[in-house]
Structure 1
Amino acid sequence: MLPAQGPTCQESILPRIKLTERTIEKLLAPDPSGKQVLHWDADLKGFGVLCSGVTSTKTFIAQRTLPDGKTRRVTVAAVNEMALSKAREEAADMLVDLRKGKDPKARSMTLQGALDAYLKKYDAKLSANTVSNYKDKVENHLTSWLDKPLNFITRDAVEKRHGEIAQKIALSNRWKGEVTANTTMAILRLLWNFAADQDPTLPQNPVRLRKQWFAEARRERMVEADDMPAFYKAVCALPNPVAADYLRFILFTGLRRREAALLKWAYVDFDKKLLHIPAINTKAKRKLDLPMSDFVRDLLVARRAVGKDPNDYVFPSHGKKTGYIAEPKFPLDAVAKACGVQVSVHDLRRTFITVAEETEISPMALKALVNHSLGNDVTEGYVQMRVERLRSPAQKVADRLKTLCGIVPIEGANVVAIG
């Protein structure tokens, strides 16, 4: 139940009508004017139906002037969620509260409530990483707002908190914190819009009109061609063979960190030389079938020969509760110390994509290999990239990567040497 100010230039008020189930059904939503339209009840003063100007939403509301002269409007319920008779009864009680000077802010949806409601509604569509990220940003950086009603959060407060988040992180000597500040406010904006979709009486989004975001440089870090031999040699020399294979696997497949980490032997088809990544493990929530290049197949054959992990993970980590390798920070730091090339797991994916582009495979094949959306192009929408059509492009990229890494085959053997 959220309060708002009185009518604005984006809202129209029509003469009172006797609200019945039938008259409410005939009310237009969205209204042709493109503005919110209020239809007041002729029987109960302060009770009405608010029709959206852009969606089909119709909302029962109650509104009254408080003793201090301010107007407060509260949501009773969506028209499709409550019978008219019940809505009128609840509105009458709310109007009594308003007459007594009780501010509805005390009963408004809180930031914590908005976060919980959003995560509950979209639980099936959000990855575990996304859920964790949203909770982390809101609960750690907007802590003092969690139990506050959304309309407590003003544009000035957003401006101040945005800067405070970056400053606090910078003082910890970890990083600047500007990206975290931007991300936190973007999540707040998302949650506000989510709440506003359910309650059109919520005030204007205090984040929506922000202009002064911290500038974020586009991330372009990757393993450069000249550094590739030394980098690959350092990876192969890692004392942890699982970490070494995991990093080489990502470099030669372009998979995302979790897509590779969650790979199980059940997803590996050696006979057809295919990898099957289930939708639940991908960022796009689309299943991904990938042909194995000769390099990837040989790597997995060698890994399988080591023995099968009890949890079936291809890249197990028995020291982790998850049972699989997560963020290989220490191996990557060791590689950087050995060869001077500091990269992240995602930088390896970026390296794969860059090398693939240089091999001049078709843009659609590249998108399919890395599970990017084909976009809205009409022609692309009709083209289905069958997995066998990706086998040649995948091998072409692998061949180029092997050349860049200095990998040369040993004649007469199913092994390779590092040049």
Structure 2
Amino acid sequence: MSHARAWYRVERRQSVIQPRQIAAWWKAVQSLRNDAHRDYFIITLLLTGLRKEEARTLQWADVDFQARTLTVHGTKNHSSHTLPMGPYLASMLNTRERLGDTVFTSTYGQIGNLRYSLENIARNSGVTFMAHDLRRTFATLAESLDIPAYALKRLMNHKTQGDVTGGYLVITTERLRNPMERIEDFVLKAAKVRESADAVTLPREYGNAV
């Protein structure tokens, strides 16, 4: 079958949460009883674009409140990934109760099955999504805000293999602070946590989160 290339091709999901859906989605997330699930969805996935496992295993030892950065290890490309934290993100993390070495541990224990939280959010907001859709939303919002391509690549921790120009660029964590804060600001405005954001519609081909 491999020789004949007859394997069924799994199409990449294209779903994102549209800006107009963020307010209802955010409100539903905030109503979750499990604070670890609540902060996991809002902080690390939508506001950082981290992969779900990178966020789930984030350690307190890798959160630097003085430098306002967080670092994840064991990433998909096998390299540690350090991101600056926006003011809202840093504040939310700083107010979390420390119940273990892992940031997203609550009185319910460490994050496990997200199914019921996902179902609750969908029921209360009308937005059906998967955890990885938040990473895709982060990237798509960044592109719509004209974040430079190489900065976005670095935010997403994508390698620049085969990209000669990218191999010459050294994009520091501080260089990423302004892009991260712009993304955070837009999300918070769309969520009505701050004064309203400019209207942005994500590309039609991404559609609604499904």
Report the TM range for the smaller structure's normalisation: 0.7 to 0.9
1:316: which partner in 2?
105
Cα deviation for residue 256 of structure 1 reads 0.5
Judge conservation of contact 1:365–1:390 (CA < 8 Å) in 2: yes
Matches for 1:368-387 after TM superposition, within 5 Å: 368-387=154-173
Q: Which residue, out of 329, 334, 349, partners 2:115?
A: 329
2:52: which partner in 1?
257
2:132 equivalent to 1:343:
no
Q: Which residue, out of 266, 269, 274, partners 2:69?
A: 274
Q: SS at the partner of 1:228?
A: helix
Cα deviation for residue 353 of structure 1 reads 0.7
Q: How high is the sequence identity, in percent, across the aligned residues? A: 36
2:37 equivalent to 1:243:
yes
Matches for 1:376-415 after TM superposition, within 5 Å: 376-408=162-194
Cα deviation for residue 211 of structure 1 reads 3.0
* 4+ residue runs over 2 A deviation: 210-218
Q: 1:300 to 1:317 in 2, by over 3 A?
A: closer
Please give the alpha-carbon distance, in whole angstroms, between the structure 2 residues aligned to 1:364 and 1:342.
31
2:15: which partner in 1?
221
Please give the alpha-carbon distance, in whole angstroms, between the structure 2 residues aligned to 1:255 and 1:371.
9
Cα deviation for residue 266 of structure 1 reads 0.2
Cα deviation for residue 234 of structure 1 reads 0.4
Cα deviation for residue 214 of structure 1 reads 2.6
Judge conservation of contact 1:262–1:324 (CA < 8 Å) in 2: no
Q: SS at the partner of 2:157?
A: coil
2:94: which partner in 1?
301
Please give the alpha-carbon distance, in whole angstroms, between the structure 2 residues aligned to 1:408 and 1:225.
14
Q: Which amino acid aligns with 2:89?
A: V
Matches for 1:178-257 after TM superposition, within 5 Å: 207-249=1-43, 250-257=45-52
Cα deviation for residue 215 of structure 1 reads 4.3
Cα deviation for residue 302 of structure 1 reads 1.5
Cα deviation for residue 324 of structure 1 reads 2.7
Judge conservation of contact 1:277–1:289 (CA < 8 Å) in 2: yes
Judge conservation of contact 2:34–2:106 (CA < 8 Å) in 1: no
Matches for 1:167-186 after TM superposition, within 5 Å: none
Q: 1:327 to 1:376 in 2, by over 3 A?
A: farther
Q: Which amino acid aligns with 2:102?
A: Y
Please give the alpha-carbon distance, in whole angstroms, between the structure 2 residues aligned to 1:374 and 1:394.
20
Q: Which amino acid aligns with 1:253?
A: T
**Of the two, which has the highest radius of gyration?**
1
Cα deviation for residue 257 of structure 1 reads 0.6
Judge conservation of contact 1:258–1:326 (CA < 8 Å) in 2: no
TM-score, scaled to structure 1: 0.45
Q: Which amino acid aligns with 1:361?
A: I
Cα deviation for residue 268 of structure 1 reads 0.4
Judge conservation of contact 1:254–1:350 (CA < 8 Å) in 2: yes
* CA offset digits 1:288-331 (Å, max 9, x no partner): 1110011211110121xx2x223x11001565xxx631342211
Q: SS at the partner of 1:390?
A: helix
Structure 1: give runs of 5+ residues left out of the alignment. 1-206, 410-419
Give 1 or 2: higher strand fraction.
1
Q: SS at the partner of 2:90?
A: helix
Higher relative contact order by CA 8 Å / sep ≥ 6: 1 or 2? 2
RMSD over aligned Cα atoms? 1.6
TM-score, scaled to structure 2: 0.87
* CA offset digits 1:30-73 (Å, max 9, x no partner): xxxxxxxxxxxxxxxxxxxxxxxxxxxxxxxxxxxxxxxxxxxx
Q: SS at the partner of 1:356?
A: helix
